[in-house]
C-alpha cells in the first residue's frame, strides 16, 4: 500500500520561501523542491519558523460532545463543519484534501534530524540539541495525526490497527509510503521523545521551541493515552519539577498559571469590563503566555467571532458560580440576540486556541494519573492548584470523601471546564472510549431550530472516533485501505 502526501509536504516550502525571500544568504532553494541549509544557524532558524506555530486542529472542535448547534446559524457554516458536527463518515468532497493531514512541519523536522549533525559549524552539543528538539517536535506532530487517523490505542489491537506512514526523510519528491500500524506509530513517538529528553535544554529562549519539561509532559501524555499511568506519572512529575528551574529564566521561559481571579477582575490586567463584553479584554499572545510550555495553536473562530456552535446547558451547569471562566461565555449569539436554547452559552475572546503543551493540561494529566494509581490526596492537590486560580478558594475545594472512580470523573469534568470548545474534548473522548469507566458512554449532539426546539440528534458511532482518509488520497493510491 502507498499513500501520496506529496501535495501536503510541498506546502512546507511556501512559508520558508516567504521568510527567506528578503535574505538570500539564509536559505537558498536549490534545486527546486529542496531546502538547502549548511550552518548550525540555518538549522536553528528553521525551528524558529513562525509557520510551525499553527497546525490545523480546528477539525476537533465541532466533534466534541460539549457543544450544540442552532439552525439559523448552523446552516450558514461550512459544509465541512456541518459534517463534522454530525459525525458523518465522509467529511470532504472527492477532490478535497484535509487541512489536518499536514506533513509540512514533519518535512522540516526530518531535515534537521538528518542533516544538522553534519553542519559546517557548531559544536557537537549544539548539533545534538537541535536534533533533539526536532525529534520532540516531530513526536508532537505525529501524536496529533495519530489521534485523527488511527484508532484509539488499545494494546490488544494496536499492532493490527492501521495508523499512518512514518516519514523520516525530507525529500518532497518521495511519495511511496506504507501505512504503519498504530503500535508502530506510538513506538516511533516514544523513541523520538526518549532520545530527545536528555539532550533538550531546561531553559528555553522561545516558547516556539521544545524544552525538557515540555517533552517530558508530552511523553507522559502519550503514555496516559496508551492507558499506562504508571509510566506516565514519573514523566509528569519530572516536568513539574523542571518548571521551577525553567521559570528562573527569561520572560520566554517563565512558566506559571494565571490567577483569573486577578486577571479577569472587572478592570483588571486583561481589561475585562463586565458592562461591555465580549471583546473588552485580551489574553496574552502565545509568545508571552506563561501557561504555555510549548507554543502551538490553531485558529478557532468559534471561540472568537462565529456562533455556529455553543456549549450545551449541561456543560455550562458544570461551572461554579464564582468560576472566572464563566466570563469567557456569553448567552448571546451576537449583540442583543440571545441563544434560543435556555442555558447555552457561546465562548468568545480567544481566536487562537493553544494546543501545544500547557500548564493546565499538565496538572490535570498528573491529577488523573495520581487518581488512577489511587493517590487521591495527590490528585486533589493538583486539581485544586488549578481551581484556586480559576475561582474563589471556597468553591475551589473538591467535595469531601470522593473515591477513586469519582476522583477520576471529577478530573475529566475539570478538563471539560478548562478546555471547553477548544478541541481538547475530542482527544479525551477517543482515549476514554477504551476505558472501562467511560466505555459505555453515549456521545450525542443536539441540533435545535431557531425557537430552541430539538429537531435532530446525532449519535457518535465507534467507527467515527477515527477520521476517514480523504477520498483524494484513496484515488491517488488505489491499493490503500481506508478506515471503516
- Looking up residue 447, the CATH number of its domain turns out to be 1.25.40.390
pLDDT for residue 8: 35
Choice among 8-12, 245-249, 369-373, 376-380 with the minimum mean pLDDT: 8-12
Q: What is the mean pLDDT of residues 351-371?
A: 96
Give 333's pLDDT tier (boundaries 50, 70, 90): confident
Tell me the angle at which helices 212-225 and 359-372 cross, rounded to the nearest 10 degrees. 40
Pull the grid cell for residue 342.
435556555
Burial of 479 (0-12, 13-18, 19+ CB in 10 A): exposed
Q: Is the dihedral of CA 36, 39, 40, 45 positive or negative?
A: negative
Please determine, for residue 28, whether its predicted confidence score (pLDDT) is greater than 90: no
pLDDT for residue 199: 98
Tell me the three state secondary structure of residue 210: coil
Q: What is the mean pLDDT of residues 434-441?
A: 94
**Residue 53: inside a domain:** no
For the chain, what is the mean pLDDT? 89
Give 248's pLDDT tier (boundaries 50, 70, 90): very low
Tell me the three state secondary structure of residue 383: helix
Q: What is the mean pLDDT of residues 245-266?
A: 78
Choice among 33-37, 360-364, 369-373, 400-404 with the minimum mean pLDDT: 33-37
Higher local confidence (pLDDT), 257 or 351: 257
Give 251's pLDDT tier (boundaries 50, 70, 90): low
pLDDT for residue 81: 96
Q: What is the mean pLDDT of residues 270-274?
A: 89
Q: What is the mean pLDDT of residues 175-185?
A: 85
**Residue 221: inside a domain:** yes
pLDDT for residue 246: 56
Q: What is the mean pLDDT of residues 262-280?
A: 86
**Residue 31: inside a domain:** no
**Residue 307: inside a domain:** yes
Q: What is the mean pLDDT of residues 204-216?
A: 94
Give 426's pLDDT tier (boundaries 50, 70, 90): very high
**Residue 55: inside a domain:** no
Query: What phi and psi, each to the nearest 5 degrees, are found at residue 337?
Result: -115, 100
Q: What is the mean pLDDT of residues 130-137?
A: 98
pLDDT for residue 178: 76
DSSP 8-state class, residue 11: T
The Cα 41–Cα 120 span in angstroms is 10
The Cα 195–Cα 205 span in angstroms is 21
Choice among 13-22, 130-139, 149-158, 387-396 with the minimum mean pLDDT: 13-22
Give 200's pLDDT tier (boundaries 50, 70, 90): very high
Number of H helices, E strands in the chain: 18, 12
**Which alpha helices (H) appear in 211-268, and where do they start and end?**
212-225, 229-246, 260-263
Count of residues making up the chain = 484
Q: Model pTM?
A: 0.91
Higher local confidence (pLDDT), 244 or 124: 124
Give 296's pLDDT tier (boundaries 50, 70, 90): very high
Please determine, for residue 429, whether its predicted confidence score (pLDDT) is greater than 80: yes
Please determine, for residue 422, whether its predicted confidence score (pLDDT) is greater than 60: yes
Please determine, for residue 20, whether its predicted confidence score (pLDDT) is greater than 50: no
pLDDT for residue 281: 74
Give 277's pLDDT tier (boundaries 50, 70, 90): confident
Give 252's pLDDT tier (boundaries 50, 70, 90): low
In the chain, the percentage of residues whose pLDDT exceeds 70 is 89
**Residue 209: inside a domain:** yes
Q: What is the mean pLDDT of residues 330-352?
A: 88
Q: What are the distances in angstroms from CA 465 to CA 153, 157, 183, 410?
A: 11, 15, 17, 23
In the chain, the percentage of residues whose pLDDT exceeds 90 is 73
Please determine, for residue 370, whether its predicted confidence score (pLDDT) is greater than 90: yes
Give 116's pLDDT tier (boundaries 50, 70, 90): very high
Domain span at residue 244 reads 40-46+61-93+100-476
pLDDT for residue 305: 82
Strands 67-70, 444-448: pairing kind: parallel
pLDDT for residue 10: 31
Query: What's the total number of domains in the chain?
Result: 1
pLDDT for residue 262: 97
Give 466's pLDDT tier (boundaries 50, 70, 90): very high
Amino acid at each position: 500500500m502507498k499513500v501520496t502526501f506529496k501535495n501536503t509536504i510541498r506546502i512546507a516550502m511556501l512559508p520558508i520561501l516567504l521568510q527567506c525571500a528578503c535574505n538570500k544568504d539564509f536559505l537558498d532553494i536549490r534545486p527546486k523542491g529542496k531546502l538547502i541549509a549548511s550552518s548550525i544557524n540555518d538549522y536553528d532558524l528553521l525551528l524558529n519558523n513562525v509557520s510551525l506555530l499553527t497546525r490545523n486542529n480546528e477539525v476537533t472542535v465541532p466533534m466534541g460532545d460539549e457543544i450544540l448547534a442552532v439552525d439559523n446559524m448552523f446552516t450558514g457554516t461550512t459544509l465541512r463543519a456541518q459534517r463534522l458536527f454530525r459525525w458523518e463518515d465522509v467529511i470532504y468532497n472527492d477532490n478535497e484534501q484535509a487541512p489536518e493531514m499536514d506533513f509540512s512541519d514533519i518535512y522540516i523536522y526530518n531535515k534537521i534530524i538528518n542533516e544538522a549533525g553534519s553542519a559546517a559549524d557548531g559544536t557537537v552539543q549544539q548539533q545534538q540539541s537541535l536534533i533533539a528538539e526536532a525529534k520532540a517536535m516531530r513526536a508532537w506532530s505525529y501524536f496529533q495525526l495519530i489521534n485523527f487517523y488511527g484508532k484509539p490505542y488499545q494494546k490488544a489491537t494496536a499492532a493490527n490497527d492501521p495508523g499512518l506512514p512514518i516519514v523520516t526523510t525530507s525529500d518532497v519528491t518521495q511519495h511511496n509510503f506504507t501505512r504503519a500500524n498504530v503500535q508502530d506509530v506510538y513506538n516511533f513517538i516514544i523513541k523520538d521523545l526518549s532520545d530527545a529528553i536528555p539532550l533538550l535544554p531546561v531553559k528555553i529562549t522561545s516558547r516556539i521551541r521544545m524544552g525538557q519539561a515540555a517533552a517530558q509532559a508530552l511523553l507522559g501524555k502519550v503514555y496516559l493515552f496508551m492507558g499506562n499511568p504508571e509510566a506516565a506519572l514519573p514523566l509528569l512529575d519530572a516536568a513539574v519539577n523542571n518548571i521551577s528551574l525553567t521559570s528562573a529564566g527569561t520572560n520566554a521561559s517563565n512558566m506559571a498559571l494565571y490567577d483569573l481571579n486577578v486577571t479577569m477582575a472587572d478592570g483588571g490586567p486583561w481589561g475585562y469590563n463586565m458592562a461591555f463584553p465580549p471583546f473588552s479584554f485580551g489574553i496574552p499572545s502565545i509568545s508571552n503566555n506563561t501557561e504555555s510550555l510549548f507554543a502551538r495553536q490553531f485558529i478557532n473562530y468559534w471561540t472568537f467571532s462565529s456562533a455556529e456552535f455553543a456549549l450545551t446547558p449541561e456543560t455550562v451547569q458544570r461551572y461554579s458560580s464564582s468560576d472566572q471562566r464563566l466570563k469567557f461565555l456569553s448567552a448571546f449569539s451576537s449583540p442583543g440576540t440571545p441563544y434560543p436554547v435556555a442555558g447555552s452559552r457561546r465562548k468568545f475572546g480567544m481566536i487562537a486556541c493553544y494546543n501545544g503543551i500547557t500548564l493546565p493540561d499538565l496538572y490535570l494529566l498528573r491529577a488523573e494519573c495520581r487518581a488512577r494509581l489511587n493517590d487521591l490526596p495527590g490528585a486533589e492537590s493538583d486539581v485544586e492548584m488549578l481551581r484556586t486560580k480559576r475561582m474563589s478558594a471556597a468553591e475551589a475545594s473538591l467535595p469531601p470523601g470522593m473515591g477513586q472512580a469519582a476522583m477520576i470523573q471529577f478530573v475529566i469534568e475539570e478538563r471539560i471546564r478548562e478546555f471547553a470548545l477548544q478541541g481538547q474534548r475530542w482527544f479525551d473522548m477517543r482515549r476514554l472510549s477504551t476505558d472501562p469507566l467511560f466505555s459505555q458512554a453515549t456521545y450525542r449532539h443536539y441540533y435545535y431550530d431557531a425557537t430552541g426546539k430539538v429537531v435532530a440528534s446525532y449519535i457518535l458511532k465507534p467507527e467515527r472516533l477515527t477520521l476517514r482518509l480523504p477520498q483524494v488520497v484513496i484515488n491517488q493510491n488505489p491499493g490503500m485501505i481506508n478506515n471503516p
